[in-house]
Amino acid sequence: MNGLHELYNTLLNAYGQRNWWPAKTPFEMMVGAILTQNTTWTNVEKALVNLGDRLSPTFIAGVDLGELAQLIRSSGYYNQKAVKLKALTQWYAGYGYNIEKAAASDGEVLRTELLAVKGVGRETADSILLYALNKPFFVVDTYTKRILHRIGYDIPGTYDGLRLEIEENLPRDVYLYGEFHGLIVEHAKRHCKKKPSCEGCPVESVCRQRS
DNA sequence: CGCCAGGGCCATA
DNA sequence: TATGGCCATGGC
């Protein structure tokens, strides 16, 4: 996976700093990570706005499940996601809803804990680790796989296989991981959707344009 | 109209 | 380990 850092620089030059993830607080980030599962961010934003002041761990922990589901209705899969938010909040309660206290634990330990939470898979866990807990785990999403595949990389079969290979070929830097993922999302939105639009694509010269 | 979106769980073989 | 069905709204 040579040239990964060059890809980062190319995207950074094309799109500028992303300042990713878009959230005001770590808890909001975690909620967004659940709500955006297989869902557009615009639908997630509607739900976050709808929650408003209720976007707090104490409210999520205490609110009726059906009521929570209705509050996040616009993000889709709302019945499942309501359960997931409850479960994640329960994990957070173990640290007294204190992000510094949670971040004091080892990254791998936290990852194991998060993966044990119902509704938190690898991508969601790594998102939370990176953006809420500042742990150096690279977030692999469908965009990452699609872009790297189209550029011509040989993609490992498993999630962690690809994650580790990416991490091995980049400086172990939380800021770089976070920005790179944000740049990939931006690039996907502009040029590298399932149906690509290649006008003005900054990596067009190396893109194999394979499905 | 149908397709798609910043996944994950569960059942099955 | 690897598929397939399921969950669901909203933009295009």
| Residue A193, pLDDT above cutoff 90 | yes
Question: What does the pLDDT average to over A35-48?
Answer: 98
User: Which nucleotides on chain C have any atom < 7 A from a protein Cβ?
Assistant: 1-2, 7-11
Q: Please state, for a pLDDT cut of 70, what percent of chain A lies above it.
A: 99
| Residue A210, pLDDT above cutoff 80 | no
Would residue A211 count as lying in a domain? no
Residue for token digits 């869902």? A39
Strand C lies under 7 A from the Cβ of residue A145: no
- The spacing between the Cα labelled CA in A41 and the C1' in C12, in angstroms, equals 15
**Domain closes at, from A131, A152, A170:** A131
Residues A159, A51: Cα–Cα separation, whole Å: 32
Rg (CA), chain A: 18
Residues A123, A121: Cα–Cα separation, whole Å: 6
Q: What is the CATH number of the domain that holds A87?
A: 1.10.340.30
Question: What does the pLDDT average to over A105-123?
Answer: 98
- Provide the pLDDT for residue A208: 86
- Provide the pLDDT for residue A104: 98
Q: Is the distance from CB of A186 to CB of A18 less than 8 angstroms? A: yes
Q: Please state, for a pLDDT cut of 90, what percent of chain A lies above it.
A: 96
Same structural domain, A118 and A193: no
Would residue A43 count as lying in a domain? yes
**Domain closes at, from A131, A165, A194:** A131
Nucleotide nearest to A43 (CA to C1'): C10
| Residue A173, pLDDT above cutoff 60 | yes
Q: How many domains does chain A have?
A: 2
Range of the structural domain that residue A94 is part of = 26-131
pTM greater than 0.85 (yes/no): yes
Would residue A178 count as lying in a domain? yes
The predicted-structure confidence for A123-157, as pLDDT tens digits, reads as follows 999 999 999 999 999 999 999 999 999 999 999 99
Q: What is the CATH number of the domain that holds A149?
A: 1.10.1670.10
Strand B lies under 7 A from the Cβ of residue A112: no
Strand B lies under 7 A from the Cβ of residue A210: no
Same structural domain, A60 and A119: yes
Strand B lies under 7 A from the Cβ of residue A125: yes
- Provide the pLDDT for residue A211: 56
- Provide the pLDDT for residue A1: 85
- Provide the pLDDT for residue A166: 98
Mean pLDDT of the residues in chain A: 96
Nearest Cα to Cα of residue A189 among A14, A6, A13, A27: A14
